Structure 1
């Protein structure tokens, strides 16, 4: 039971259906779809489409999607990889000829063909109950009428204003008198509404072929991209159902999407941490935080060395998540000192900056559970707006490398290393918790912090999301302000280079399914503007 004298909120409880997203209007949309007869997947797509309108810095139809879906009564988890591929003309030689020595976040070369719309349609056809037109109707209405800008959205928007100013169309439609939209300003996207309506009426083909695709291609070619309408037409079928990866942890099965996503880091870190006894001092104790950071440093080292598109490069998932290998990693972690240097793995290099994403989850009355994540990567993606269609294009290709021989080197029709990772916990053949934590590269760290907060240290779902976070990044240990000064001092003495960060790490949602009592328990991260609702 939480301290009701202290700031915070309780988990949300319900018995029929529940949704948790990063914006109230999106959560309400999901609940409305459930009440209209849609299932958890319908509600997730509808909520995500709304977020594409009202949280435009984080997500959109110009981005990518990953999903884990657990249909009730099947004991199975379905995984969707909705990440797009680089255009056919994207070669390292072409980029170097254009003067690039590394990927640039605002370059058209960092825009892969968006995969989200392909994924939405395939998920809807395979597992949905309502039509795309019904599902997208709430987002279309909001895009036409406008919606007031919320606090976290406004903060991110202000930070991204210089990027938006670089693109004439983005500056025209996403800045007001040269400045970001402020809290309470109403923001409408009529061009995006028209595009969403076309997708609802004619399906994903309306996005990947014809005038909408032509508009996106024109915007990218004007910015120096190699994209063609043929590249976009090929993107219609880019999303694919894949076999999820999993690990056994504390009597539960934790599921992730396979590479090119980075869910294997979650499994790897849980494998390492699962070999440790629960330390004294609680979830904010120095030993717990130190071990978690060290496990993360090792896992992210391996990610930078090996994670890439498995259709073009072999990714040793089995080895990296095996008991033998995680035992070797555990043996490297000492409680009395941080590792000064990590043992070599691949070609690890400094990570790019943190990114923006939306994560949401829905559980319906039948027990179907959906874990859903959609992203533009960085805030407002590439900052390149296809003006006629209203599509802001992501910059997921910024995750590529230009080093020849690196498994994640850019190549034609290749998928980049991806950060967005939905999570699902199963027990005894039933889904017990769809969950996720946003925040670009932070996501595996965030997921494992959340899972251990709840299942190991006994915090309730909301407390598990609320707890202050930290993340090893670029040689520093980035910490939120809520971690006690005494703990930071001890971490520094162990050898960690601690620094306070301006914006908090990520944001997350989760819904726990209490099968024994027939109760749904939902939580939403205070680092975002959203909430959990149930009925």
Structure 2
């Protein structure tokens, strides 16, 4: 059972996986210096904000699961920013802006999350200057622009809403960044240098904070100096569900962790009936529909969720949802969908500490507003609020928005452990379930579970359609059978980035394996 391992009986292998190889490199650098998985994740989180700025930034949010051998459950950290306290400017609006200063409604919690994770780690001892040095190096020395980054820049520019600050940084002289370009961001490097010297709290209460507040005020954001100063991350009780032979963990509201766990629990209850790839895909798709149908009425700020949210992982509710799945007929779709751009990363240190981490600004480049002289964009997470009075996700002062982010972890009854996750908006629970079922229940290797063809029901980053999309290689195998069962779907190219950037680390106790997604620019490594 978890909690019975002796650390000196475990392998001392270290591992890191990230959707960009530079973040993996940074994480491994810290681990090889004797740093903890938490410290390695902070270093990688800083680096990936430099090399994948369209997917995340230090102007966004993050969530953590950290497991130490001997603990019955992982430590969970909610670093979600809250809405501004003065929202009078939004009282008569009928629609929230997705870009620009008016979209900058919520605090940026991720740096507070880094600090909380380090504070909660009794073995963390490396200087902050060491942890942030790789990010400084990349920001000042320059990165090579990936296709993913170039496509996201072009998408924001094509919307016609890009603020001048965005154009100055990502399309200087009206020349958008292109694949292969060298992109330097000295302002972001200087921000990290200041944080390394003054501490992470400087982001909220120091010279960096002053630059942030000046920029937010100038762009028309409702976030006040006090709103920014009071940003905090919370240690919370993780959600969990017991499946056959293991327990799965995720983050509670406002994240969609409850839906990720609901889907897995439904699949566990019906998996003995599965005989083909089409069966597995149909089951997970239908379990997703059963769970997502409740999302508009149960998922919101943890202080406003209804009693139905607290019952969502009860045996009665889970069994009822599983029983309603018709293995011969697809349920009607769509339901309201949500977008989201994100990075997920995993780490394991030599002492066995295991981390599942996710960081985001919501849409690609978030609000697209660059904080002047600081080199990063602010999130637009606030657009997931509702302006409808009485909605459980109604925009109100100090409230947390409904969140797509949800890092995952599984603790086996025999002591084995799995850290896993993905980017991809509402695709996250689906991809988690697919990865998990292939690896845990179908016998695929970690790499196979991630690399093989996937599907997406609803929307993810860079996409506007609510339909069922299936990658070509998988569609060739199961498309005809899904059509027979009533699924309306369309084919997309194989190894498609819209399916998200998944990753995982598996710790058997005697050996560690790691994998990353070929749909990303990532790398997974075990040493």
**TM-score, normalising length: structure 2:** 0.91
Which residue of the partner structure matches residue 9 of structure 1? none
Which of 65, 79, 86 aligns to 1:82? It is: 79
Cα distance in structure 2, aligned partners of 1:483 and 1:176 = 41
Structure 1 residue 151 displacement after superposition: 3.2
Q: Is the 8 A contact 2:415 2:508 kept in 1?
A: no
Which residue of the partner structure matches residue 271 of structure 1? 265
Cα distance in structure 2, aligned partners of 1:291 and 1:488 = 14
Q: Is the 8 A contact 2:166 2:368 kept in 1?
A: yes
Structure 1 residue 53 displacement after superposition: 0.4
Cα distance in structure 1, aligned partners of 2:337 and 2:95 = 13
Structure 1 residue 436 displacement after superposition: 0.7
Q: Is the 8 A contact 2:26 2:40 kept in 1?
A: yes
Q: SS at the partner of 1:248? A: strand
Cα distance in structure 2, aligned partners of 1:156 and 1:501 = 19
Structure 1 residue 158 displacement after superposition: 3.0
Cα distance in structure 2, aligned partners of 1:389 and 1:83 = 21
Which residue of the partner structure matches residue 104 of structure 1? 97
Q: Note the alpha carbon deviations across 1:220-240, whole angstroms, 9 max, x for none.
A: 3333321211110111xx201
Cα distance in structure 2, aligned partners of 1:67 and 1:140 = 23
Which residue of the partner structure matches residue 314 of structure 2? 322
Against the structure 1 CA distance between its residues 453 and 406, is the aligned structure 2 distance closer, same or farther, given a 3 Å change threshold? Answer: same
Q: SS at the partner of 1:169? A: helix
Cα distance in structure 2, aligned partners of 1:523 and 1:510 = 6
Q: Note the alpha carbon deviations across 1:96-121, whole angstroms, 9 max, x for none.
A: 43xx3123321434321100011101
Against the structure 1 CA distance between its residues 472 and 424, is the aligned structure 2 distance closer, same or farther, given a 3 Å change threshold? Answer: same
Cα distance in structure 2, aligned partners of 1:158 and 1:505 = 20
Which residue of the partner structure matches residue 7 of structure 1? none
Cα distance in structure 1, aligned partners of 2:161 and 2:343 = 23
Structure 1 residue 315 displacement after superposition: 5.6
Q: SS at the partner of 2:487? A: coil
Which of 518, 525, 530 aligns to 2:517? It is: 525
Determine whether 1:351 maps to 2:337: yes
Count, aligned residues: 505
Q: SS at the partner of 2:96? A: coil
Which residue of the partner structure matches residue 489 of structure 1? 480
Which residue of the partner structure matches residue 380 of structure 1? 365
Cα distance in structure 1, aligned partners of 2:185 and 2:524 = 26
Against the structure 1 CA distance between its residues 281 and 391, is the aligned structure 2 distance closer, same or farther, given a 3 Å change threshold? Answer: same
Q: Is the 8 A contact 2:264 2:433 kept in 1?
A: yes
Q: Is the 8 A contact 1:67 1:373 kept in 2?
A: yes
What is the 5 A alignment of 1:2-401?
16-90=13-87, 94-97=89-92, 100-111=93-104, 112-127=106-121, 128-162=124-158, 166-235=162-231, 238-282=232-276, 285-314=277-306, 316-340=308-332, 350-352=336-338, 354-401=339-386
Structure 1 residue 494 displacement after superposition: 2.0
Cα distance in structure 2, aligned partners of 1:217 and 1:240 = 23
Structure 1 residue 431 displacement after superposition: 5.7
Q: Is the 8 A contact 1:219 1:384 kept in 2?
A: no
Q: SS at the partner of 1:320? A: coil
Q: Note the alpha carbon deviations across 1:392-451, whole angstroms, 9 max, x for none.
A: 111111211111111111110110011111111112384611111111111111111110
Q: Is the 8 A contact 2:12 2:352 kept in 1?
A: no
Q: Is the 8 A contact 1:66 1:82 kept in 2?
A: yes
Q: SS at the partner of 1:374? A: strand
Cα distance in structure 2, aligned partners of 1:211 and 1:409 = 33
Structure 2 unaligned spans of 5+: 1-10, 459-464
Which of 435, 450, 459 aligns to 2:444? It is: 459
Structure 1 residue 204 displacement after superposition: 2.8
Q: Is the 8 A contact 2:99 2:161 kept in 1?
A: no
Q: Note the alpha carbon deviations across 1:203-230, whole angstroms, 9 max, x for none.
A: 2321112443333333333333212111
Structure 1 residue 531 displacement after superposition: 0.8
Against the structure 1 CA distance between its residues 179 and 497, is the aligned structure 2 distance closer, same or farther, given a 3 Å change threshold? Answer: farther
Q: Note the alpha carbon deviations across 1:123-145, whole angstroms, 9 max, x for none.
A: 11221232322211110111111
Determine whether 1:509 maps to 2:500: no
Cα distance in structure 1, aligned partners of 2:314 and 2:72 = 23
